[in-house]
Amino acid sequence: MSSKWAGARGLLNEGKLWQHARAQKVISGTVLDENNQPVPGVGIKNVTSGKGAVTDAAGKFSIEANAGDVIRISYIGYLTQNITVANQTALNIKLVVSSDTKLDDVVVVGYGTLREKEITSAVAKVDTAQFRQSGARNALDLLVGKVAGLQISRNSSNPNSGVGIQLRGVTSISGTLSPLIIIDGIPGGNLDLLQQDDIESFSVLKDGSGAAIYGTRANAGVILVTTKKGKKGPSLFNYNAYIRNERLVKRPDFMTAEQWRARIASGEYKVTDKGGDFDYFQDLIDKNNLSDNHNLAVSGGGETSTYRASVNYRQLQGFAKENSRKEYGARLSLTQRGFQNRLQAQFNLATNFNKANLLGGGGWENVLTKNPTESYFNPDGSYQFTRTITNELARLEQERYGVQQQTTSADGRLELEIIKDLKAAVFGAVQRDSRIWSEYRDRASQNSVENNDAPNGGYASRVTELNQNFNVEPTLEYTKIFGKHKISAIGGYSYRYEVNEGFNANNRGYVNDLFEDNNLGSVPIKVNTVGLGSFKNDNTLIALFGRINYALGDKYFAQAIIRREGSSRFGANNKWATFPAVSAGWNVTEEDFMKDIKFVNNLKLRVGYGETGNSGFANYASLVTLGTGGIYLFPTGEYQQTYGPSRNPNPNLRWERKKETNIGIDFTILNNKLTGSIDLYKRVTKDLLDTYTSPQPPFIQSSIYTNVGTISAKGIELTLSYAAIKKRDFSWRIDFAGSTTDNKLDSYSNDEYRRDMKEFGSIGGFGALGNAFRTYEGRNIGEFWGKRFAGFTPDGKWQFYTKDGAIVSNANINTSPFRDQTDLAVIGNAIPKYYLSLTNNFTYKNFDFRVFLRSKLDFDVLNTTAISYGNKNGASTNLLNSAFGKYAEIKDTYMYTDYYLEKGDFLKIDEITVGYTFKLNSKSFRNLRIYATGQNLVTFTGYTGNDPDYIQDVGMGQEINGRSLGIDTRSPYPATRQFLFGVNFGF
């Protein structure tokens, strides 16, 4: 005992125990972010003792610590800091954003923002660093290949063409297929108002659990566009510009005049040699095309107000002659704070004027198939006209066709902090889009000369259209933190009114070409030469919506959404719809069992379910409408117009409803080098809208627009980003996006309306070849149904397989629409199974280098050029050289068969950019970067037709930008390589 006591007394005498007890104290402190704002929910841990704490709503904390203890401060998205306690009793900590993770990023979602770590649904953010560099005509061009599951299809480099866009497969048969576009809070925002240098970021709400807050317009997903705003600081000027030139990639391999004559001489082709040598394909090309774009922006602000204003000029010259677009635009954004910093006002104003020349861009088939030995001119130098083919050179000189467009958007938002944690806001917006189409054909033009009603008289046409929409959305938002618990909720009301109207008139027989379309009444009005029409329609949509988000520390997250919405487009019995959604997230790396798994920096699991709708169909579709009938002699002795019902009413018409489940994983591993996400989804759209045969009686008309059928999709999306090398002078980053989708038409009938399949995709060309696609109930979307080639007879006649495997002539093939009877079979699918993209970003000192590759795999294309011009039997036009090679065996009529179906798979070096940033030792000049970009440089493919990337691969039955799914048109706008030189200058 004495020895033990002596030991204890010795310890006391040495003061060690006393010193330890005396050193215990409470350390308090505040944690601020990079903007000096308090950060709630930051993890504070005494690594020495194991005790922990969390910052409160004001960013404050307190924790017991001894001198020499190590305090660890950790928060997702910021660098972890270790601080050794000395004699201080307070710590003021400023977080440092981690350059290796984006979990701190603020992502725009419906009616608000969330930090990336808090997101529980499938949302993809694309910002300026990821945008394509090749000069976007359409804002969505910036997203091509950047978002897994988002397919953007452009059918040419025509500066006046649009894009086809689809997210996670086909969701409708006849309704809207494209995602809802929202620009700075304006639903249905006009993409013509967007210039690439004014865009801050895109947020793509891919699944129903995130998109449900937009209700009946969100079946195809939602794309939120955020434009750049002013920031506190000195006035900044930014000038961005580029010039671009386009060069031909390849042209269809039709015979030259020399080859034409050689085949006449060999007896292979019985046509006429007219002695010339012409290549009018080259005459449709603007070989000196040069496009340029200029954007000047100024921004800045002080403590209570910020601003940003920009002006833009863009002049786009197409690869084709008489094919151009000129645009002038401006955008202004103002933000003002007041009322003791509790009131914020934000206003945006944007306008765009553009003038497009629509005359050129076509006619390629006419010049390629024309006899290459025959001139477009008469011996006296005048244009030669024949009623069998259009003189394309004369058309470009003797006709005018264009459109003038003015688009304006204005919006404002007022936000008031009523009390702490409670905000009220009201948002209002108006958009106005006005267009005037003008067309004139000279008296000497082929169209006028060959017209029978007014021969040699000029033709003029004018069409006007005005589209307007008005939006008002008041909201209440509440945010509260209780220790580790954070709740945020928003509720609101939405009102939207759209009105569309237009007028058109045309006349023929003008005796001079002076007035063009500016004096339509300068010639007598005759029934057989004049056309007149007008329209006006509108619709109203109102909604109540709410969302609540919950977070438990940085570990558990949940979200719930509900929207109750009504639309005037729906039938009288179905004016309203309710759309719920729920989702949850679990940050697994916050669990204790993950602490020792060092290679996993972040791992979050997500699961969500949501319902959305599709109201993207014509106004008044549920109502009986009147149409004109004949003109009859009434008893009064007057001839009067008669009217009658032109559409059956459908009081039960309702929205298409999509139910979607999404499971996702977000991860960061390998010391923050590899980040990525995996999403698995399944969606089912019910009550598909389409036109069905209706019985008479009781219905007045033979068809009715109604809800029948179900379509489904399931798929996988993968996104990866790998920081392969990150050193002082050299870095290499790899970004990958890939997706696959399985899309089916589950049903196309119900008890009242029955149909087994939908047929679409007119082949056109020579012969009545019908449609390329049949989609039967229970089958995949995009299936080619056709005859299966079984070889040629010795005399070159077609032979095909029957459903039983027998080989028969074409006359014995059963083309019945009933699948249990027809000899037609699935011969391919036009929708790629896999969409892949890969971006390599390199930096070396002041140089930056980007290589962007894209690929579409496992899909088929119907080569209609080969169908029509690879068959020399009975032809007299110019033909493909393959008609005398690959297709030489054919001595029979034109045919739609898998013989002309080819694999469209390709890998494309889509973009290479080289840039250099100058170091400017100047107080006036901030930055200067010059760069050069090549686009569509090399395409590796086995397809023998046009560029398979320009062949439509979205939709089901609807033509998008005049193109049908999977069918390679006979007159495509030529694929081009584009070379761009640009500058970014800040001062």
3-class secondary structure per residue, 918-933: ECCCCCCCCEEEEEEE
The answer to whether residues 528 and 453 touch, using CB atoms and an 8 Å cutoff, is: yes
pLDDT reading at 8 higher than 50: no
- pLDDT bracket for residue 12 (50, 70, 90): very low
pLDDT tens readout for residues 685-731 = 999 999 998 888 888 888 999 999 999 999 999 999 999 998 888 99
Q: Within its chain, how far is the Cα of 245 from the centroid?
A: 25
Span 853-860, average pLDDT? 97
Question: In which element (H, E) is residue 236 found?
Answer: strand 233-248
Span 631-655, average pLDDT? 86
The answer to whether residues 200 and 943 touch, using CB atoms and an 8 Å cutoff, is: no
Span 895-924, average pLDDT? 93
pLDDT tens readout for residues 974-987 = 999 999 999 999 98
pLDDT reading at 632 higher than 70: yes
Span 320-344, average pLDDT? 95
Which of residues 184 and 74 earns the better pLDDT score?
184
pLDDT reading at 20 higher than 70: no
Exposure on the CB side of residue 103, measured as CA atoms within 13 A: 25
First CA to last CA across the chain, in angstroms?
A: 83
- Alpha carbons 369 and 868: distance in angstroms, whole number: 10
The answer to whether residues 867 and 894 touch, using CB atoms and an 8 Å cutoff, is: yes
Question: In which element (H, E) is residue 746 found?
Answer: strand 730-747
Angle 385-389-393 (CA atoms, 0-180°, nearest 5)?
65
- pLDDT bracket for residue 98 (50, 70, 90): low
Dig out the tokens for 282 from the structure: 């080259």
- Alpha carbons 359 and 323: distance in angstroms, whole number: 6
Q: Within its chain, how far is the Cα of 256 from the centroid?
A: 40
The answer to whether residues 773 and 762 touch, using CB atoms and an 8 Å cutoff, is: no
Interhelix angle for 2-14 vs 16-23, to 10°? Answer: 50
- pLDDT bracket for residue 76 (50, 70, 90): low
Classify residue 143 by burial, with Cβ atoms within 10 Å: 0-12, 13-18, 19+: buried
Residue type (1 letter), 174: S
| Mode of pairing for the β-strands spanning 927-941 and 233-248 | unpaired
- pLDDT bracket for residue 41 (50, 70, 90): confident
Span 343-358, average pLDDT? 96
- Alpha carbons 825 and 843: distance in angstroms, whole number: 52
pLDDT reading at 11 higher than 50: no
Name the nearest CA neighbour of 583 among 557, 612, 613: 557
Dig out the tokens for 207 from the structure: 């699944």
Span 628-642, average pLDDT? 81
- pLDDT bracket for residue 87 (50, 70, 90): confident
pLDDT tens readout for residues 523-578 = 877 777 889 999 999 999 999 999 999 999 889 999 999 999 999 999 999 999 99
pLDDT reading at 40 higher than 80: no
Strand order in the sheet with 901-903: 901-903, 860-863, 967-968
**Residues of the chain with pLDDT > 90: what percent?**
71
- Alpha carbons 408 and 289: distance in angstroms, whole number: 29
Dig out the tokens for 345 from the structure: 């006002």
Q: Determine the pLDDT at residue 18.
A: 37
Contacts of 286 (CB under 8 A, 6+ apart): 317, 318, 319, 320, 321, 323, 360
The answer to whether residues 570 and 614 touch, using CB atoms and an 8 Å cutoff, is: no
Q: Determine the pLDDT at residue 7.
A: 42
State how far the alpha carbon of 375 is from the alpha carbons of 264, 278, 285, 379, in Å: 18, 7, 18, 9
- Any bridge partners for residue 494, and if so which? 543
Q: Determine the pLDDT at residue 23.
A: 46
Q: Determine the pLDDT at residue 577.
A: 94
Residue type (1 letter), 398: Q
Residue type (1 letter), 984: N
Tokens 């608000």 belong to 112
Q: Determine the pLDDT at residue 135.
A: 82
pLDDT reading at 447 higher than 50: yes
Question: In which element (H, E) is residue 446 found?
Answer: helix 446-449
- Alpha carbons 290 and 312: distance in angstroms, whole number: 17
Q: Determine the pLDDT at residue 642.
A: 84
Contacts of 416 (CB under 8 A, 6+ apart): 339, 342, 343, 344, 423, 424, 425
Span 440-466, average pLDDT? 94
DSSP 3-state assignment of 955?
coil
- Give one DSSP letter per residue of 623-646, joined into a string: S--EEEEEEEE-TTS-EEEEEEE-
| Mode of pairing for the β-strands spanning 25-32 and 90-94 | parallel
State how far the alpha carbon of 113 is from the alpha carbons of 109, 481, 543, 679, in Å: 5, 17, 20, 21
- Alpha carbons 397 and 522: distance in angstroms, whole number: 23
- pLDDT bracket for residue 104 (50, 70, 90): low
Burial 175-188 (b: 16+ CB within 10 A, else e): bbbbbbbbbbbbbb
Mean predicted lDDT score pLDDT of the chain: 91
Span 579-597, average pLDDT? 92
Residue type (1 letter), 7: G
Span 165-186, average pLDDT? 92
pLDDT reading at 24 higher than 80: no
- Alpha carbons 122 and 677: distance in angstroms, whole number: 9
- Alpha carbons 528 and 508: distance in angstroms, whole number: 9
Q: Determine the pLDDT at residue 2.
A: 43
Q: Determine the pLDDT at residue 89.
A: 80
Residue type (1 letter), 332: L
Q: Determine the pLDDT at residue 13.
A: 43
Span 193-211, average pLDDT? 93
Dig out the tokens for 334 from the structure: 């103002």
pLDDT reading at 167 higher than 90: yes
Which of residues 103 and 501 earns the better pLDDT score?
501
- pLDDT bracket for residue 103 (50, 70, 90): low
